[in-house]
Amino acid sequence: SQKIEQNSEALNIQEGKTATLTCNYTNYSPAYLQWYRQDPGRGPVFLLLIRENEKEKRKERLKVTFDTTLKQSLFHITASQPADSATYLCALDIDYGQNFVFGPGTRLSVLP
């Protein structure tokens, strides 16, 4: 069966450390993978996209990797801050913009 999972429902880390979130999927062949941030009571906000032929993408303190053999993406936030506390969602494009599958999300808490 097709499935997309994120490593844990919640993750607590200390301010200044690197947060690493995991997205695993089975039986999909996505053209690309996206990461979103969602704050309570709000819609998701796009952060990064990585294509199937890319290994790594960076944007400021964010880094995403994509391993299509392992069917896994890792999302890193370096030098984390309390303002990074939010739920982070991964999403697969499984039909070139016509169908997206989202993971359940990981709620990150960065403790001061």
Partner 1 sequence: IAGITQAPTSQILAAGRRMTLRCTQDMRHNAMYWYRQDLGLGLRLIHYSNTAGTTGKGEVPDGYSVSRANTDDFPLTLASAVPSQTSVYFCASSSGQGTYNEQFFGPGTRLTVL
Residue 40, C-beta contacts closer than 8 angstroms, at least 6 positions apart: none
The binder of partner 1 chosen from 32, 62, 71, 76 (CB under 8 A): 32
Q: Is 46 in the site for partner 1 (CB under 8 A)?
A: yes
Q: Tokens at residue 110, please?
A: 């960065």
Neighbours of 79 (CB within 10 A): 12
Neighbours of 38 (CB within 10 A): 16
Q: Is 62 in the site for partner 1 (CB under 8 A)?
A: no
How far apart (Å, rounded) are the C-alpha atoms in residues 13 and 87? 14
Size of the site for partner 1 (CB under 8 A): 25
The binder of partner 1 chosen from 31, 70, 79, 111 (CB under 8 A): 31
Q: Which of residues 74-103 bind partner 1 (CB under 8 A)?
A: 89, 91, 93, 96-103
Q: Least distance in Å: CB of 19 to partner 1?
A: 19
In this complex, which beta carbon is closest to partner 1, that of residue 44 or of residue 108?
A: 44
| Beta-strand relationship, 10-14 and 72-77 | unpaired
Q: Is 11 in the site for partner 1 (CB under 8 A)?
A: no
Please, which residues bridge with residue 62 across strands? 59, 77
Q: Position of tokens 């984390």?
A: 80
- Binding residues for partner 1, rule: CB under 8 A, are 31-32, 34, 36, 41-46, 49, 51, 89, 91, 93, 96-105
